[in-house]
Structure 1
Amino acid sequence: MASKQNQEESKRSVFLKSLFCGAAGAFIWGIISSIAYFFSFSEVSHGSFILRSFFSGSWTEGITGELISLAIITVLGVLPALVYYLLMKNLHGVMPGIMFGIGLWVLVFIIMNPMFYYVPTFYDLSSDTIVTTICQFVLYGVFVGYTISYEHHDRRIVANHPQKEA
């Protein structure tokens, strides 16, 4: 009975850590995206394009807009982590995270692009923006994917091989 309860707590723990990992990754890579935008490596900042696509005004372009955008992107970062947890947590290594990051990039910059009028179409993006944003999404995917897979694998090993009580 105690073993089943421990397994349930372990699953819940991995799930909550996965959600936190997605938010933390989105926060970290949102900051990196803003820095890349500031130094003109990219035409778009991940967080601010979400805000600027739905709201207009000078406040969206200053530090206030960047901070609000960072908060939005941090909250939204939970969604990809949830998808990774549900569909890909059993996969090991870096490649699933790389593929996940590329898939997210395609989703945001190609499939969902019409939703974000602030972002130029794929054909209008500069090569610097494409390379920079793909790299950022890949790094986010690896961060989230590797963390979730490692945590899931680690908890599974602990659940299958409990320490003997003395």
Structure 2
Amino acid sequence: MSNHKDEVEFPKMSFLLMAVTTGFVGGILWSLIGYLCYYFNYSTIEPNILLEPFTVGTWRESWIGIILTIILYGIISIGVALVYYILLKKLNTMWVGIGYGFVLFLVVFLILNPIFPSMKPFLQNDINTLIAAACVYILYGLFIGYSISYEHNEIKYFKEKELKR
């Protein structure tokens, strides 16, 4: 039998901070996957296209541009995770995250497309690029969505368990 006083409690991260961390890590992880897709020619869209509207010169294609782009994806992803946190955290199914990722794909490729001059219009992209990008966005949405929903349900479960004591 374990004595409750003997148990070590680690400091707990707030749920909002966990969502922010999930967003940042997700942005970095999935932008790296996007770079791998570009490197192995699954996609013709280079992830540093994000810097295109704001920079001049070829420095964005160097290592500093790649690092800056990855960090920028992490920062933008915090906002994406917060939107999921506010609107969808209570929905505990992987399909919501998959749908969220697909909606993000459509927003980037259909609505935000004119912001990026080197990105072809949606139907002019080759099928490999569209499939690779859709898969990365869907998996990114699944990562963000399921991580946040899982944590929300864990917190809810332990609160209910504590109330029953």
> Shorter chain as normaliser: what TM range?
0.7 to 0.9
Name the residue aligned to 1:144: 144
Letter in 1 for 2:22: C
Asked if residue 24 in structure 1 is aligned to residue 20 in structure 2, the reply is no
Partner of 2:44: 43
Aligned ranges for residues 114-133 of structure 1 at < 5 Å?
114-133=114-133
Partner of 1:53: 53
Shift of 1:164: 7.6
Contact 1:101/1:142, CA 8 A, preserved across alignment: yes
Q: 1:95 offset after TM fit, Å?
A: 0.3
Deviations 1:81-106 (A, max 9, x none): 00100000011121001000000001
| Counterpart secondary structure, 1:161 | helix
> Could you give the per-residue CA deviations for residues 10-56 of structure 1, whole angstroms, max 9, x where no partner exists?
8x81111011101101100100111111111101133x011123212
Query: CA–CA distance in 2 between the matches of 1:21 and 1:97?
Result: 13
The residue number in structure 1 matching 2:96 is 96
Q: What are structure 1's unaligned runs of at least 5 residues?
A: 1-9
The amino acid across from 2:88 in the alignment is: M
CA distance in 2 between counterparts of 1:128 and 1:62 reads 25
Give identity over the alignment, percent: 31
2:23 aligned with 1:34? no
Paired residue for 2:74?
Answer: 74
Instruction: Find the aligned partners of 1:122 and 1:82 in 2 and give their Cα distance.
Output: 27
- Cα distance, 1:118 vs structure 2: 2.5
- Size of the alignment, in residue pairs? 155
TM-score, normalising length from structure 1? 0.87
Q: Aligned AA for 1:13?
A: S
Give structure 1 regions of 4+ aligned residues with deviation exceeding 3 angstroms. none
Gaps of 5+ in 2: 1-11
Separation in structure 1 between the aligned mates of residue 35 and residue 143 of structure 2, nearest angstrom: 18
What is the distance in 1 between the residues matched to 2:145 and 2:164? 32
